[in-house]
Every structure is written in structure tokens, then in C-alpha cells.
Homo-oligomer: A and B are copies of this chain.
Amino acid sequence: MSEQTITVTLATEKKAKPDASTLVFGKTFTDHMFMMDYTEGKGWHDAQILPYQPITLDPASVIFHYGQTVFEGMKAYLTKEEKVLLFRPEKNMERLNKSNERLCIPAIDEEFALSALKQLITVDKDWIPTEEGTSLYIRPFIISTQPYLGVAASISYKFMIILSPVGSYYKEGVKPVKIFVENEYVRAVSGGTGSAKTAGNYAASLKAQQIAAEKGYSQVLWLDGVEKKYIEEVGAMNVFFKINGEVVTPVLNGSILEGVTRGSIIELLKHWDIPVTERKITVEEIFEAHKNGELEEAFGTGTAAVISPIGEFFWNEQVIVLNNNETGELAKKLYDTITNIQNGKIEDPFGWTVEV
């Protein structure tokens, strides 16, 4: 499949680029997109880069009824030297195929997908914003297109990549968020689709997220679906705690996503000789550690915000405030190090960045 060529059709009219200061996450899209089709018996075919445009689907398409779909999220950064850097993109393509496996979607050729992505970014290179904290968000996704109402894996698919220039996640610098620990609604359970990046997990999260927002909390912390005791993840982020000098994060248990940022932070902490453990963590333990004055920091990690320090947890009518609602030292150091590696401002000792 790697020998496939990509047909390129350039947009005859280019859209006006938004002002970097007004950029909102995921609302503006670039001039082009990547698209490739899968047909049973034929495999993936007809790779093309074409002007960003609506797609046309039969109303009976599997995606509309049974949600057979997977996606990824990553970013491209422009360095001061005008080089375009991706952050561990092979990890995202690998995870896309893991998600495909769970959702019964045919695998993509990871190497080809990465080269297609690079080509698409090159075409839309002048869409990468340059201001501090900005980047080009990349959304690869696959949807099932067979017009058939039987509950079964589709025999046709579309693999697409769209690009969106995004602003700094923190308009006034990194700021701690307030987190609502969810006791009623469940996002995912072991044996379900929680470890895949697929639509249904996010659809399931909307209700709890809405309720938390009404109470003034910006994100939900999910507990395990079985005992509602163990910490899973936060919205679209993995979560870390620093307790008494040790960093802990929930172990991969089949119901949380294996975040690329999560993995990078674990490596970075080890590199710095800071003790880090992946294990089961109860929410009770976190509240207990806070009471004992041992909970030093908590933060979420993900592509969108990179590091999101947590200033407050609400659980069972109890509220704890962390670190005086200020960004912790470790969260700050991790944020600076990772974003500086991503932007090419400091040396990348891990070989994480890939030049386009």
C-alpha cells in the first residue's frame, strides 16, 4: 500500500486566515483535507488531497446508526527556524490501528498515513500559526460508509485528515482547573471501548460533562465503572498526582486511553529520576493524602492542553483545594519542557519530534 500515490487537487480560492488571538479550538479548518476510501476486496485506495469540503453520504451509512468510527488527535508546530515539527506522530498512527482493531475497521498502513499527513501539512503549511502556544491541530478519522442497517462491520470506509489552527489553550498562561469527580455516570468499563479512541466514549461523556459545567467545574474525573472507586481519567486527558514526592498515575486497565502525553511524561520523569508509578488509585486515597498534607500536585495530560494543573476536586459534596489553586512546580516544569521540545526551542533528547 505504501507505493500508493496521492492525487493532489489544490483549492483555487484560499480562505482568509483567522487572527491568532481569536483562534478557538476546533472551529476553523484549513484549505485542504486528505481522503482515502476503503472498499471490500479492493482495500484502501484513491488517496487524495483536495480542497476542504463537505462530504456526501447515504443516510443509511453505518456511521449514522452504529457509530463504527475511530479518530486521533495530534499537533504540528512551527519552530522559529520555520521548520514544521510533529510530536511522536507514529504513536498516533499506531493507536489509530489499535482502535481500528477494537472497532472491526480494516487497518491502515501507518507509514503511508504519516507520509500523507506530512504532504497535507506541507500543502497547508502557511496555516500553522506562529504565536506563542499556538499550533496546528490534526484530526485523522475513519468513518463507516456502507448503506446498511444490519448491525455488522461496514464493508466500506473513508479515512480523512482535517487540520485546524488552534490558539493557546490557556489564554492567560497555564491556570489550574476545577474538577468534578463523577459518581453516577460512567464513561467506559473494562471489556468495553474505553481504551480505543472512538466516538461512543465521547457521546457517553456529554451528560456528566454538562452537569459538571452547570456546577462550575470545567471537567469530569471518571471513576471505574465497576466499583466507582478507582480513578480513570479526566475528560480527554490522563491524570497524574504527586503524593509525598512520588508521582502516580492510573495503570492502563483496558478502560482508559493510553495517552501519548502520558507516556512521554512517564519517560521524562524517569529521565529526571523522579519516582513515578502506574497503579490503581482510589479517589479516597487522594482525598486522604490531601488531608494528611501529602497531596502536592495533580494535573491532567493530553494533546490539547499538554499539561492542565488541577486546582480543585469536588467529590461526594467534599471539596479539596490543591496547592493554593496555583500551578505546581512539577506541572510547570513538565509543561515547559514538553512544549519547548514540541516547538523545537530546546534539544529533544528522546527523538520525539519528527520534521515534516
Pick the interface stretch among A64-72, A79-87, A264-272, A331-339: A64-72
Q: Is the CB of B207 within 8 A of A151?
A: no
Q: Is the CB of A139 within 8 A of B143?
A: no
Q: Of B69, B147, B186, B191, which contacts A67 at CB under 8 A?
A: B69
Find chain B residues with CB under 8 A from A236 CB.
Answer: 151
Nearest-CB residue, chain B, relative to A102: B207
Find chain B residues with CB under 8 A from A201 CB.
Answer: 200
Q: Of B103, B206, B209, which contacts A103 at CB under 8 A?
A: B206
Q: Is the CB of A185 within 8 A of B191?
A: yes
A68 to B57, CA, bound (A): 17
Q: Of B150, B193, B198, which contacts A25 at CB under 8 A?
A: B150
Q: Of B26, B192, B199, which contacts A60 at CB under 8 A?
A: B26
* A230 in contact (CB, < 8 A): no
* A63 in contact (CB, < 8 A): yes
* A27 in contact (CB, < 8 A): yes
* A170 in contact (CB, < 8 A): no
| Category for how many chain A residues contact B | 35 or more
A37 to B73, CA, bound (A): 29
| Residues 2-49 (chain A) with a chain B CB within 8 angstroms | 25-27, 29, 33
| Residues 142-189 (chain A) with a chain B CB within 8 angstroms | 143, 147-153, 160, 162, 164, 184-189
A104 to B207, CA, bound (A): 6
Given the known inter-chain contacts A104-B210, A149-B139, A193-B204, please indicate yes or no for A58 contacting B54, CB distance below 8 A. yes
- Tell me the smallest distance from the CB of A49 to a CB of chain B, in Å: 13
Q: Is the CB of A203 within 8 A of B210?
A: no
Q: Of B26, B71, B198, B204, which contacts A148 at CB under 8 A?
A: B26
* A190 in contact (CB, < 8 A): yes
- Tell me the smallest distance from the CB of A101 to a CB of chain B, in Å: 8
A96 to B209, CA, bound (A): 21
* A141 in contact (CB, < 8 A): yes
Nearest-CB residue, chain B, relative to A187: B192
- Tell me the smallest distance from the CB of A4 to a CB of chain B, in Å: 21
A63 to B68, CA, bound (A): 11
12 additional contacts (CB under 8 A) given A27-B148, A184-B191: A26-B148, A27-B150, A56-B56, A63-B199, A65-B71, A65-B141, A137-B149, A151-B206, A153-B206, A187-B192, A198-B200, A199-B200
Name the 8 nearest CB pairs between A and B, nearest first.
Answer: A200-B200, A26-B149, A67-B199, A186-B191, A66-B202, A67-B203, A189-B189, A189-B225
Could you give 7 example pairs across A and B, Cβ below 8 Å?
A59-B160, A64-B199, A67-B198, A186-B189, A199-B203, A200-B201, A225-B226
